[in-house]
Amino acid sequence: MAMKIRLARGGSKKRPFYAIVAADSRAPRDGRFIEKLGTYAPLLPKDSEDRVRMNLERVQHWLSQGAQPTDRVARFLEAAGVMPRRERANPKKGEPGKAARERAEKKAARSAEAAAE
């Protein structure tokens, strides 16, 4: 059975609240899960200790059993020091868009022109 440690959404409309759960990867997102491992409240401030709460002992147990965390949960585990930080490959995300590149080229041309005078 392929296990995942993932988020299950709760809360009302426009007021998200997530449970961090260990579930079979084939089960629905908000459906059946095996064990609740913690909570995530994205509306709380980032420095609040109640924003992400996890039972790290149980998380370690599920990781040792072969459960794979989703991207978001992996970030929580990296912040908690349970998992090593892994390299994220998204080279297109950090590049400026077309208009920003054109502005940068114009600015560089103007500064080169001013330096030549």
Q: What is the mean pLDDT of the chain?
A: 89
pLDDT band at 82 (very low <50, low <70, confident <90, very high): confident
pLDDT at position 105 is 93
Could you report the per-residue pLDDT of 38-74, keeping only the tens digit for each?
999 999 998 998 999 999 999 999 999 999 999 899 9
Any idea which fold 3-80 has? S16 Ribosomal Protein; Chain: A; (3.30.1320)
So where are the chain's domains? 3-80
Give the mean model confidence (pLDDT) for residues 74-82.
90
Q: What is the 3-state secondary structure (H, E, C) of 9-74?
A: EEEECCEEEEEEEEEECCCCCCCCCCEEEEEECCCCCCCCCCCEEECHHHHHHHHHCCCEECHHHH
Please state the pTM of the whole predicted model: 0.73
